[in-house]
Amino acid sequence: MALIDLPSHARIWIFQCAQPLTSDEQEFIRLELKKFLSDWNTHGSAMRADFEFQLNQLIVVAADEEQMAASGCSIDKLTREIQRLGAAMNKNLLDRQTIFYKENETVLSAPISTFWGLRKANRISDDTLVLDTTVKNLNEWQTGGWKKFGLSWHKEMYGR
């Protein structure tokens, strides 16, 4: 199964790392996360789920909640597994302090403080595309993950 095999309404969770993951790190995560997801359940019901890497820094996990919604406990288990995998590699896979944006079609990332500085220096404009890692389902991710800064939640936080 792949994310493309899941319905567009599948719920997603996006985990990010400030540094790119090497191919060895991705393979380690792939093997461990496949095992985890094959046993992942909510209230005893198996979750139909899969994941993929994006930009070598993001892990996008999706679950079809049509049969049963993910419970708080099952989401906590997923988060703890991601945390465990990061600790095993000495990487923070739960980083929320990095912003992804495009500059001339090149994807870049920056810590929030640097991003704010780029905005103040007018290097980030209202038309700069930023990645919205708060989207809730696969459809939103695939069709609206990249948004113009001026139309994103980033504007409220980093606007002028």
Whole-model pTM: value is 0.90
User: Cα-Cα-Cα-Cα dihedral of 8, 10, 13, 16, to 10°?
Assistant: -30
Predicted confidence (pLDDT) per residue in 43-99, tens digit: 777 788 999 999 999 999 999 988 677 788 889 999 999 999 999 999 999 999 999
Q: Is the pLDDT of residue 158 over 70?
A: no
Scan for tokens 């309404």, then name that residue.
Answer: 9
b/e string for 119-131 if b means 16 or more Cβ within 10 A? beeeebeeebbbb
What residue segments make up the domains of the chain, in order of their start? 3-89, 98-158
CA atoms of 70 and 43, how far apart (whole Å): 9
Instruction: For residue 159, name the pLDDT band (cuts at 50, 70, 90).
Output: low
Predicted confidence (pLDDT) per residue in 2-30, tens digit: 667 899 999 999 999 999 999 999 999 99
DSSP track, 46-106: EPEEEEEEETTTEEEEEEE-SSSPPPHHHHHHHHHHHHHHHHHHT--TT--SEEEEEETTE
